[in-house]
Amino acid sequence: MSAYIVVELTMKDVEALARYRASVGPTLKRFGGELLVGAAPWHLLHGRSAFETGTVLVFPNKDAALAWYDSPEYQALAPTRNNAFNSRFRILG
């Protein structure tokens, strides 16, 4: 069963975001992940959103999604990510 990582984010630094985007793609591919929706504004139907935009990643399964997030390659990008945007990552699946 596919698993989805939903990222809620608010951008802080455009240059850091460009560095993050350039580096994150290869880490996704290694775990069978791909970008499904990239940094699109939320169209809120109900409730409140703490973030301005969102991204959705898809993986073959939950184990692959967690392996990607916990991988040394992705965790090495965490400081750049944190400089680029405030975020919340959630997994479905």
pLDDT surpassing 90 at residue 77: yes
Question: Count of domains in the chain?
Answer: 1
Q: How far apart are CA 31 and CA 29, in angstroms?
A: 5
Q: How far apart are CA 73 and CA 75, in angstroms?
A: 6
What is the domain extent for residue 77? 3-42+52-92
pLDDT at residue 30, rounded to an integer:
97
Can you tell me the distance from the alpha carbon of 23 to that of 1, in angstroms, rounded to the nearest whole number?
A: 27
User: How confident is the model at residue 86, as a pLDDT?
Assistant: 97
Q: How confident is the model at residue 57 (pLDDT cuts 50, 70, 90)?
A: very high
What are the residues facing 86 on neighbouring strands? Answer: 10
58 φ, ψ (degrees, to nearest 5)? -120, 140
3-state DSSP call for residue 33? coil
Q: Does 68 reside within a domain?
A: yes
Is 47 a domain residue? Answer: no
Distance CA(67)–CA(70), nearest Å, equals: 5
Average pLDDT over the chain, rounded to whole?
96
- For residue 24, tell me if it sits in a domain: yes
Beta bridge partners of 68: none
Q: Is the pLDDT of residue 43 over 90?
A: no
**pTM beyond cutoff 0.85:** yes
